Amino acid sequence: MADQTPSLSLKDLFAAKAAAVARRRAEAEEVEAQKKAELSAFSERVQTYQITDEDRERALNRIRRAFEAGERELMLVKFPSVLCEDGGRRINNHLDGWQDTLPGVMHKIYEWWERELAPGGFTFSARVIDFPGGMPGDVGIFIGWPQTLD
């Protein structure tokens, strides 16, 4: 019986390493393509969604529960800052007209607050809530209220 010791060559090692790099690159590209598709689908929903009476009632119930729990504000929703027409710059820097950069249904939430909640003393704010890689990430929309009526 002949000696069957495995052979090792640099050519084989470099080929295996290159194949592994190509596989990781392809997987990363697939993940990135999936993220882009999800963002595109979410963006479409944000632009076309119409707020329902059920949505408003659910939001009011969440506000009531947060108030009863002693909270001072509630984040109603969050969304990627890239959906803002300026990438969230006005919101992040608290510049005039920031509310006009809110996309689709997010601006409708602002209008709902302005029409129905602001007269009752509630506040509205939007803030960039994370900075992945040092860049604005998600924007949170908050409804707030004072600690007392004084």
- Are residues 126 and 67 part of one domain? yes
Q: What is the pLDDT along the chain (150 residues), one digit of tens a residue?
A: 556 777 889 999 999 999 999 999 999 999 998 988 898 898 899 999 999 999 999 999 999 999 999 999 999 999 999 999 999 999 999 999 999 999 999 999 999 999 999 999 999 999 999 999 999 999 999 999 998 887
Query: 94-116 burial, b for 16+ CB within 10 Å, e for fewer?
Result: eeeebbebbbbbbebbbebbeee
**Residue 149 is assigned to a structural domain of this protein:** no
Q: Which two tokens stand for residue 140?
A: 């949170």
Q: What is the pTM of this model?
A: 0.78
Domain limits for position 77: 51-144
- Are residues 71 and 16 part of one domain? no
